[in-house]
Structure formats: C-alpha cells, structure tokens
C-alpha cells in the first residue's frame, strides 16, 4: 500500500493502475479481491487528503494571524 511519504499524485497513479488491472478482467478472484481492497484503501487516503486540502484552501489567514472562511463572490 502507499506509504505516507508518497505524493498524492503517486497514489492516484497507483489507483489508476489497479483500476486498469481490474477492468482488464485477467485476474483470478483472489487477486481481484486483493486489488479491490487495496484500491478502496487508496480511495480513502486520497479522499481524506483532498478534504484536508479543501479545508486549508477555504480558510484565509488574516493580518493578525487568525483564520476566517474565504468568501468568493460570484459577480
């Protein structure tokens, strides 16, 4: 499985590779289950990372160091 030192992009590439293998259909049942389980773990890690990034991006740091929500107007 992906280590903590791997970049998000590396995890996504690994996930894409696993999906390609599963879609190919050349794996036996045990290998398919193993690949699926690994893929689901990668999805969870990537999703958590994206949630963390989104939370950081949507906060604005004020001059006094405090944080406030970043408000974007649609005008």
Query: What single string gives the DSSP state of each residue in 10-71?
Result: HHHHHHHHHHHHHHHT-S-HHHHHHHHHHHHHHHHHHHHHHHHHHHHHTEEE-TTS-EEE--
Helix (H) or strand (E) holding 69: strand 67-69
3-class secondary-structure state, position 68: strand
Domain ranges of the chain: 8-61
pTM: 0.70
pLDDT digits (tens, 9 = 90+) for 21-70: 999 989 999 999 999 999 999 999 999 999 998 888 777 777 777 877 77
């Amino acid at each position: 499985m992906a280590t903590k030192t791997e970049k998000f992009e590396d995890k996504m590439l690994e996930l894409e590779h696993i999906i390609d293998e599963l879609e190919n259909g050349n794996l036996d049942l045990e290998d398919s289950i193993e690949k699926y389980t690994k893929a689901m773990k990668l999805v969870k890690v990537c999703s958590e990372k994206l949630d963390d990034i989104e939370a950081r991006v949507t906060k604005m740091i004020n001059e006094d160091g405090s944080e406030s929500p970043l408000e974007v107007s649609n005008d």
